[in-house]
A and B are shown apart, each in its own frame.
Chain A
Amino acid sequence: MSNSPLSATRFRLTFGISWLVLMADHAMVLHYFDLPWQEAVIDSCISNGILLLFCLLIMNTLRYYLPQKEQLINIFAWCVTFSIVWLLLTKWLLKLSLGYHPGYTDLLSHSGSIRFSIAFLLLGCVTMISVLWQTWIMQKEDQVRKADAEKLAKEAELFKLRQQLQPHFLFNSLNSINALIGSRPAEARKMVQQLSDFLRGTLKKEETQWVTLQEELQYLQLYLEIEKVRFGNRLATVTETNEEVKQMKLPALLLQPVVENAIKFGLYDTTGETVIHIHTHKEGNELMVKVSNPFDPETSAPKQGTGFGLKSVQRRLYLLFGRSDLLATEAKENIFTTIVKIPQHEQSSDR
């Protein structure tokens, strides 16, 4: 990105050509008023050369100092002042260098107001263009900064959402292992292994990483095995899927919190056996995952929309897809179902 309009090659070229055209016009007009070519060209070079210097001075100044909106009147005053200074300076120089030509002094004094007007217009234009250019650049930089900040915030948020592994789960699992060590050491060892694999999975995966449903389900299986040790016969799970769906993709670790929510809701809202159904299928270009659990409609009011730990899942889906309609819940009789939709087209361009 250029700091000044002058550093952009195309602009510089246009600027230079315009200036040459201006100089040529200036000389031609003077020649039209009976000034010989030589004197006309010298006049043009001196007047426009100094004007060019003034323009460059203004452009360069505006690179470092951009007036606020309310100071635009100052710019106008500047342009007037510069034009007057320019007029006096050129008049003096021209008199010195071309005063020998008969009638030139007359021509010079008659053309004073025209010269002033043209200079003022030119300086005004250059100033306006510079101000607009600089403002545009500043806005662009601002936008980039904002976008960067947003991206950072988004990444941090995604990271946090993913980290919301329930400490409750971890400590209770450790407690189960503690109990198993005394009575069934082989099972304790197996559970340590499962818990480690599960934890490693949460650490390894990045929030933006996509995995196949198959991988996600395998990972989920680890989690379910651990929960089954904890809750024994009270917890059962049924997973329905097929080969085609298994190859569809989804953001890593998306389903675990959904299932965790279903387990908690189911186990803590009923005293009998809890069966968690996980059903996956393809619908259009979307992977649909339905997780359902029993609940007691008498005593609990599943909040409309989202409840419990589902908020973070919804937030994550929103950050990843910019859509808030990808997670839905429904309560029918005594079954609570969470439905997650994962669009398939975005991931190829994303990753």
Chain B
Amino acid sequence: MSKVVIVDDEMLARSIVKEYLEKHPQLELAAECGDGFEGVKAIQQYQPDLIFLDIQMPKINGFEMLELIEQPPAVIFTTAFDEYAIKAFEAHAIDYLLKPFDQERFDKAVAKWMDQKPSAIEKTTQELLETASHSPSQSQRVVVKNGSKIKIIPARDIFYLEAADDFVKIHTQEGYFLKNKTMSHFEQTLDEQQFVRSHRSYIINIQQITRIDPYEKDGHVAVLRTGAKVPVSRSGYGKLKAILGI
């Protein structure tokens, strides 16, 4: 028996997946969820083998939901139309079902999943997330997990980012949040007009800078509105100068 979770904000969309699942007695429906928050909870609780996931959902989209799960299970996306998502799928997804779809197409997707090796699944999901994170909506905000709570941080509320081993510390008004991503991931996804990598281990929100002071021999530090001092390397100083027009 394999466990399945459905995450979709439209009740009818969930019901059609349920209906098609009836033909697959080896798949057991563990939970159905109306948004990403419920999805995260259900996935942690039931540890499903497969999820059927919609992209456009309230608050956090399907990709952002997956990012919050430590070891995402295999995913079959069900979506109507999203140019960006489709591009991401074509490159990396196990399979994706474009709504509306019929039983036959559904069965094919399930068969495809059963043929995949678990190791391959994990890899494709990671690659998929990487591609999807470049979508416009995800450059506007960062979704993090804070204990059992899910926090959506609008990009404008981020003061600066700091590398910390395998994590990145996201500094905000309410302290910092950790996200299991690389610095270059944020450098690529956040709006480059607003966020500048000032140093190997730092990315600054330029809206927060009040001044840039010289520091030691040929380094600089950026002083933020909060008073925090963020190191600026020589190449980082060049980038900041170019973007601030000084």
Chain A interface residues toward B at CB < 8 A: 166-168, 170-172, 174-180, 182-183, 229-232, 234, 267-271, 296, 298-301
Contact = CB atoms under 8 A, between A and B. Distances in A.
15 contacts: A168-B56, A171-B100, A175-B80, A176-B13, A179-B13, A179-B19, A180-B12, A183-B15, A230-B12, A232-B10, A268-B56, A268-B59, A299-B141, A299-B152, A299-B154
B81 A174 contact: no
A303 to B, nearest CB: 10
Contact of A179 (B16, B82, B156): B16
Nearest to A171: B80
A230 B80 contact: no
Contacts of B82: 168
Contacts of B56: 168, 268
Given A175-B16, A232-B12, 20 more contacts: A168-B81, A168-B82, A171-B100, A172-B13, A174-B99, A174-B100, A175-B12, A176-B13, A178-B102, A179-B12, A179-B16, A183-B19, A229-B12, A234-B9, A268-B56, A269-B58, A269-B59, A270-B58, A271-B35, A271-B37
B57 interface: yes
B69 interface: no
B164 interface: no
Nearest to B154: A301
Contacts, number: 80
Contacts of A177: 100
Interface residues of B, number: 28
A21 to B, nearest CB: 71
B98 interface: yes
Interface in B50-106: 56-59, 80-82, 98-102
Nearest to B17: A179
Given A230-B12, A301-B154, A178 B100 contact: yes
B154 A176 contact: no
Contacts of A170: 80
A268 B62 CA distance: 12
A191 to B, nearest CB: 10
Interface string B137-179: 0001100000000001010100000000000000000000000
B99 to A, nearest CB: 4
Contact of A299 (B16, B35, B59, B100): B59
Contacts of B15: 179, 183
The SS class assigned to the A binding surface is helix
Contacts of B243: none
Most chain B C-beta atoms within 10 Å of own C-beta, residue among A170, A174, A178, A298:
A178
Nearest to B155: A301
B13 A267 contact: no
A171 B98 CA distance: 9
Contact of A172 (B35, B57, B80, B102): B80
A328 to B, nearest CB: 22
B17 to A, nearest CB: 9
A175 B101 CA distance: 7
Most chain A C-beta atoms within 10 Å of own C-beta, residue among B34, B81, B98, B152:
B81
Most chain B C-beta atoms within 10 Å of own C-beta, residue among A168, A175, A234:
A175
Interface in B12-36: 12-13, 15-16, 19, 34-35
Given A167-B81, A175-B16, A230 B59 contact: no
Contacts of B100: 171, 174-175, 177-178
B11 interface: yes
A271 B57 CA distance: 9
Contact of A300 (B13, B37, B154): B154
B99 A301 contact: no
A35 B98 CA distance: 103
A176 B12 contact: yes
A224 to B, nearest CB: 16
Nearest to A180: B12
Contact of B57 (A180, A232, A268): A268
A125 to B, nearest CB: 58
Contact of A175 (B13, B141, B154): B13
A321 B59 CA distance: 36
A182 B13 contact: no
B81 to A, nearest CB: 4
